[in-house]
């Protein structure tokens, strides 16, 4: 049994802004199911403290980090038997808004101080300085918010082994040199091969430099971030550490996402009863006020309205598709210009285009089950989860062949037909997306082709269990390497 401290800034269902929260719940649970002793460490945001009070918690330690008193609370992740630790420091974490931004959408001015304190608490737990009678063998950190943990641990000779997972390299935790000095970090860390990055402090660089092993969320993305186009200035460092970088495809929670038992669906189906999927289609059309047309191909999009997700590309091609009789349902929010463009387009195509701003978990499930084609024109996608939800639900994905999308969606023209499960395009441009959608519509209108692709997709294993085994292998490797250093 390996003792793992899983350090993260968000975890579902306690607090979620993106896919990191899903991974931070599902991977520890999968590790726990494979008999590993996993504890999650999370900042004590208001939602987290409320969940702890509801779920029951024990105050386990009183710490002082600089001028801040900190209480460590032990509870369980809701719906799981995995231990959850909360870093209760009201001056830094008891705030409105989301974990990283205020209610106006601006980053908290003291984010560096907030996540530096979080890292110091993680380090104390890792080094047995929190008096908890539990010391991890491995500390698994995630994204820039935890990037200082391996840095602070590095000076301890008998420290645990460290893993750092890159979920999205575009978010790096960059702060000024003045902020670096205010954190009290050693001046020796202000070097180009440590924390300094073009005159700024880079939290994520700390994780990349000082961790024993690096992972990211798909094999495709692991290759992409080693190149300038998606390396965001860190590709040289990542190429230098490529021997210690592994791409492991994320899984999905197959209990929450199961067309046979999904509580958000009024009708259920499986791979042997795909005709019942049509009822989910009718339910969705009725809910979002689309025309009750059984012949019109129905497209879906669920995601953030930002350039990365390619919402602009979808809005650009939609008129041509809607004019040919297609329907589309869109769920998401983000940049106001994209929200306004989507709403205006829906007003031009009543009964054929539905746009719901915001996020609605129930509607996301209903879209995944009810549409015929799920569109993901992302310009880059470290892993992507929606395409795996779609595959599991027998909904054919149409995706830009990047990152994790390249690793999960395969078009008949690129692979043997018994491996094909969707449609892809290679350039994030209007003609390429339109051509892929045209091929997808042609394939969908051929029942034999459609059903074979659906069956191939639904037969895939998208669970976390095989992924967890890959992480356990990495834990064992770095533990052995760490022990050999200590023994020498």
Give the Cα separation of 168 and 224 in Å (integer).
Answer: 12
Find the DSSP H helices in 324-464.
Answer: 336-348, 361-370, 386-392, 403-408, 430-444, 447-458
Give the Cα separation of 299 and 368 in Å (integer).
Answer: 10
In sequence order, the 6+-apart residues with CB closer than 8 A to the CB of 281 are: 294, 298, 370, 371, 372
C-beta separation of 281 from 269 below 8 A: no
C-beta separation of 341 from 348 below 8 A: no
Handedness of CA 315, 318, 323, 328 (dihedral sign): negative
C-beta separation of 41 from 8 below 8 A: yes
At residue 209, φ and ψ (nearest 5 deg) are: -80, -40
C-beta separation of 166 from 234 below 8 A: no
- β-partners of residue 213 are 163
In sequence order, the 6+-apart residues with CB closer than 8 A to the CB of 378 are: 303, 308, 309, 310, 384, 399, 400, 402, 403, 405, 428
Token pair for residue 196?
Answer: 């300094």
What angle, rounded to 10 degrees, do the helices at 311-323 and 430-444 form?
Answer: 50
Helix or strand or coil: residue 150? helix
| Beta strand 68-76 pairing with 83-88 | antiparallel
CA dist list (Å): 307 to 17, 303, 441 = 17, 11, 25
Give the Cα separation of 386 and 218 in Å (integer).
Answer: 14
Give the Cα separation of 72 and 90 in Å (integer).
Answer: 12
- The total number of residues shown for the chain amounts to 488
Token pair for residue 203?
Answer: 């939290």
Give the Cα separation of 465 and 469 in Å (integer).
Answer: 6
Q: Is 16 annotated as a binding residue?
A: yes
Contacts of residues 188-197 at CB distance under 8 Å and 24 or more positions apart, as own/partner, are: 189/151, 194/151, 195/151, 197/172, 197/233, 197/234
CA dist list (Å): 311 to 20, 251, 288, 363 = 21, 24, 19, 18
Return binding residues for ADP-alpha-D-glucose: 16
């Amino acid at each position: 049994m390996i003792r793992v401290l899983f350090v993260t800034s968000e975890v579902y269902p306690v607090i979620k802004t993106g896919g990191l929260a899903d991974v931070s719940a599902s991977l520890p649970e999968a590790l726990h199911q494979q008999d590993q002793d996993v504890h999650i460490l999370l900042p004590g945001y208001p939602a987290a403290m409320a969940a702890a009070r509801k779920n029951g918690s024990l105050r386990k330690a009183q710490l002082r980090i600089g001028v801040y008193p900190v209480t460590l609370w032990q509870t369980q992740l809701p719906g799981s038997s995995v231990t959850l630790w909360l870093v209760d420091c009201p001056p830094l974490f008891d705030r409105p808004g989301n974990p990283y931004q205020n209610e106006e959408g601006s980053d908290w001015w003291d984010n560096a101080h907030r996540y530096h304190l979080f890292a110091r608490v993680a380090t104390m737990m890792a080094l047995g300085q929190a008096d908890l009678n539990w010391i991890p063998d491995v500390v698994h950190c995630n994204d820039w918010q935890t990037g200082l943990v391996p840095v602070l641990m590095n000076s301890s000779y008998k420290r645990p082994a460290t893993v750092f997972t890159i979920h999205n390299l575009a978010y790096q935790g960059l702060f000024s040199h003045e902020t670096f000095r205010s954190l009290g970090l050693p001046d020796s860390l202000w070097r180009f091969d440590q924390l300094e990055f073009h005159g700024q402090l880079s939290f994520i660089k700390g994780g990349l430099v000082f961790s024993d092993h690096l992972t990211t969320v798909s094999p495709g993305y692991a290759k992409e971030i080693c190149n300038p186009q998606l390396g965001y200035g860190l590709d040289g460092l990542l190429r230098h550490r490529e021997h210690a970088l592994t791409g492991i495809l994320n899984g999905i929670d197959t209990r929450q996402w199961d067309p046979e038992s999904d509580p958000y669906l009024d009708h259920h189906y499986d791979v042997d009863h795909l005709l019942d999927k049509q009822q989910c289609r009718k339910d969705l059309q009725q809910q979002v006020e689309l025309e009750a047309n059984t012949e019109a191909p129905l497209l879906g999009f669920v995601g953030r309205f930002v350039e990365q997700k390619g919402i602009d590309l979808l809005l650009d091609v939609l008129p041509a598709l809607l004019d040919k009789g297609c329907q589309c349902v869109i769920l998401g929010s983000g940049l106001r210009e994209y929200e306004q463009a989507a709403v205006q387009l829906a007003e031009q195509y009543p009964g054929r285009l539905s746009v719901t701003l915001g996020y609605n978990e129930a509607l996301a499930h209903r879209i995944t089950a009810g549409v015929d084609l799920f569109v993901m024109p992302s310009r880059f996608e470290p892993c992507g989860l929606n395409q795996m939800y779609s595959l599991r639900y027998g909904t054919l994905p149409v995706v830009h062949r990047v990152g994790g999308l390249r690793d999960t969606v395969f078009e008949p023209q690129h692979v043997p037909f018994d491996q094909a499960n969707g449609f892809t395009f290679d350039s994030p441009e209007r003609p390429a997306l339109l051509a892929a959608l045209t091929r997808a519509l042609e394939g969908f209108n051929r029942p034999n082709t459609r059903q074979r692709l659906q069956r191939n997709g639904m037969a895939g294993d998208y669970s976390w269990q095989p992924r967890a085994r890959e992480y356990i292998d990495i834990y064992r490797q770095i533990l052995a390497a760490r022990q050999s250093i200590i023994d020498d």
